[in-house]
Chain A
Amino acid sequence: MNTNKVIQVEGLTKVFGDFTAVNAITFHVKKGEIFGFLGANGAGKTTAMKMLIGISNPTSGKANVAGYNVFTHAENIKKNIGYMSQKFALYDDLTVKENITFFGGIYGLSRKRIKEKSEVLIKELGLEKVENKLVGSLPLGWKQKLSFSVSLLHNPKIVFLDEPTGGVDPITRRQFWELIYKAANQGTTVFVTTHYMDEAEYCDRVSIMVNGRIEALDTPKKLKEQFKAENMNDVFLKLARE
């Protein structure tokens, strides 16, 4: 297996009853890449992602994540990935520090390590003044940035982001993407689903899912050439209309 490919998927399929949510998708993601996983609502993005992070069993196909098989070694995958769901998910009734300590704890970080990490993280995000405030009292944009940083606490090889920027203003989105770039520069592979097409432009490569299939996969630049489109939005519309 090519160690440079941290995610390798071949013919991955998920069937619910007589509905095929994910239909034999094949792709790979390279180490350190920002991989955009696009698609309309209901195209099967989230289902595909859930199979990769080990909380949904594939019906058929092959998938390797961080060097482990999703069928047989889901537990090992979990130690090597970070995940941020579309419902931003920290505990509102815990303080910033308590949230960091808790999530560090469930990933098995030592107390000393958690302490170091949380100091760095709080400083980086500029949360010093609110570190002992309940997360519920923070603005959404801050929560999302914190949530992203928490998903990176244990230095995962890959971080999965499920529509991380839903519902925030463009400036916060921009700041959020700076965090993503930073993580990618440090060698973390970023797998991100989104339906903001402008965000797709920020990705190294994107795949577009339509009705459970991957209909296009390349760099944003090449996709625009291929579909003779001005921007990713047009690419997406052309694909969806077909």
Chain B
Amino acid sequence: MTTEELKGLKVAKSVDARGTACPGPLLEAKKAIGTINVGDVMEVLSADEGTKIDIPKWCTKQGHEFLGSIDENGYFKVYLRKK
């Protein structure tokens, strides 16, 4: 997805994991994914560079659809759809 498309997504849940380092963001994503419905989009905010690589791998394993990420100033947003 392009950045514009990602920005236009309806986000069901936003997880702010900017305060934690690896594997914090992943643990927070795991906890939050249980609270949303299948088909919903979740956004994970992280300042940990590794998360950008880790989340897609987590999605592949768990069967969720990784949609892409947007770089912000000093952090980034990762988008995925629950399957």
Decide whether A and B are members of one complex: no
Where the two chains meet, the residues of B that have a C-beta atom closer than 8 Å to any C-beta of A are none
